[in-house]
């Protein structure tokens, strides 16, 4: 497999960056993961917009033109028609301390197969780690600051759960360590609004666009899930994955109809959006 590192396509095993890369020293950069279908990037405009906004929010300047062309070339070189593109933009090499002294970002790209979709309903663990608030770092950007998610996901797995449900520091339902959350109640879909310090996920955005039910974005306490009929989580790897239980809460959710419908709408949208472009 080939990867793209700093203007070059290189063998994955030779895909290296320098130890003084700020992405390594300080997690100083952003990344993104994009669905690939038929050699095409699904929702590229959404991702590109999030990348540009993200870079602006962390004050990372520098040339990032040609990302789509690089991704397409990488997929062709790897003969990977379907899967995921993972893209990182780190602030670059240089500067001993926190103050950036470089405007040459390092672009890294990888092409990879999509993981197998889960066929079982997922258990979530109500995390002890809160999401980082937006008064500390930009949270609408998919930054390399992944320790909070790493610790929450680890804690979830230690508790025999698939993922962690994390609250904001204001006790509102926020998101999972690597996915957004939706729930169905009274004929409507509910999901935390961007005020809850969540990442605006690309599948979250697609679900809001495609849902045949009204979608209410708001600020909700955990109690709001008590009378939900169905819960599911979303990201580019799992699409919409149904939730069975949120430990240590006792309620068991059994319905999967809404997630099933959303998944079929997503699949149609992906096919439609990527048809025949290549």
Q: Name the site residues for its own copies (rule: CB under 8 A).
A: 3, 5, 15-28, 31, 58-59, 88, 90-91, 96-100, 108, 110, 112, 115, 129-133, 135-137, 143-154, 157, 169, 177-178, 237
Task: Find the shortest distance in angstroms from Cβ 268 to its own copies.
Answer: 26
Residue with Cβ nearer its own copies (22 or 204)? 22
Could you give the residue ranges of the DSSP H alpha helices within 178-256? 202-210
Q: How far is CA 205 from the centre of its chain?
A: 11
Residue 242 burial (CB < 10 Å; 0-12/13-18/19+)?
buried
* 94 vs 85: CA distance, rounded Å: 27
Q: How far is the CB of 102 from its own copies (least distance, A)?
A: 12
Beta carbons of 232 and 241 less than 8 angstroms apart = yes
Nearer to its own copies, 60 or 262 (CB): 60
CB of 278 to its own copies, least distance (A): 25
Nearer to its own copies, 37 or 168 (CB): 168
Alpha helix ranges (H) inside 127-221: 147-158, 202-210
Residue 129 Cβ, how far from its own copies at the closest point, in Å? Answer: 6
227: tokens are: 């009378």
CB of 276 to its own copies, least distance (A): 30
Nearer to its own copies, 130 or 255 (CB): 130
In this structure, are residues 247 and 126 in contact, taking their beta carbons and an 8 Å threshold?
yes
4/74 Cα distance (integer angstroms): 7
Identify which of residues 123 and 260 has a Cβ nearer to its own copies in the complex. Answer: 123
CA pair distance 69, 235, nearest whole angstrom: 24
Q: How far is the CB of 189 from its own copies (least distance, A)?
A: 25
152 or 270: whose CB is closer to its own copies?
A: 152
CB of 112 to its own copies, least distance (A): 7
Closest separation between CB of residue 265 and its own copies, Å?
A: 25
Residue 127 DSSP label: -
**Cβ nearer to its own copies, comparing 59 with 79:** 59
Give 106's strand partners: 90
CB-CB contact of 241 with 122 (8 Å) = yes
Q: Tokens at residue 183, please?
A: 């729930």
Secondary structure letter of residue 59 according to DSSP: T
Q: Which is nearer to its own copies, 117 or 216 (CB)?
A: 117
Q: How many CA atoms lie within 13 A of 235 on its CB side?
A: 18
């Amino acid at each position: 497999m080939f990867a793209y590192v700093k203007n070059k396509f290189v063998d994955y095993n030779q895909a290296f960056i320098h130890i003084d890369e700020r992405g390594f020293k300080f997690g100083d950069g952003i990344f993104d993961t994009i669905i690939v279908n038929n050699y095409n990037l699904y929702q590229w405009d959404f991702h590109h917009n999030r990348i540009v906004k993200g870079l602006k929010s962390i004050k990372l300047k520098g040339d990032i033109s040609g990302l789509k062309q690089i991704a397409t070339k990488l997929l062709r070189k790897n003969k990977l028609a379907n899967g995921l593109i993972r893209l990182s933009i780190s602030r670059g090499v240089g500067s001993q301390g926190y103050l950036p002294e470089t405007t040459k970002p390092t672009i890294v790209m990888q092409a990879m197969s999509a993981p197998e979709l889960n066929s079982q309903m997922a258990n979530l663990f109500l995390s002890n780690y809160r999401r980082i608030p937006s008064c500390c770092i930009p949270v609408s950007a998919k930054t390399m600051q992944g320790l909070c998610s790493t610790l929450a996901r680890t804690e979830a797995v230690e508790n025999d759960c698939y993922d962690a449900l994390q609250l904001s520091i204001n006790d509102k339902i926020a998101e999972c360590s690597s996915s957004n959350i939706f729930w169905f109640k009274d004929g409507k879909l509910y999901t935390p609004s961007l005020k809850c310090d969540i990442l605006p996920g690309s599948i979250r955005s697609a679900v809001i666009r495609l849902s045949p039910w009204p979608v209410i974005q708001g600020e909700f306490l955990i109690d709001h899930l008590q009378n939900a009929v169905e819960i599911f989580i979303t990201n580019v790897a799992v699409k919409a994955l149904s939730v069975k239980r949120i430990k240590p809460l006792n309620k068991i959710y059994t319905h999967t109809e809404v997630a099933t419908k959303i998944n079929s709408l997503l699949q149609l949208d992906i096919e439609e959006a990527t048809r025949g472009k290549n």
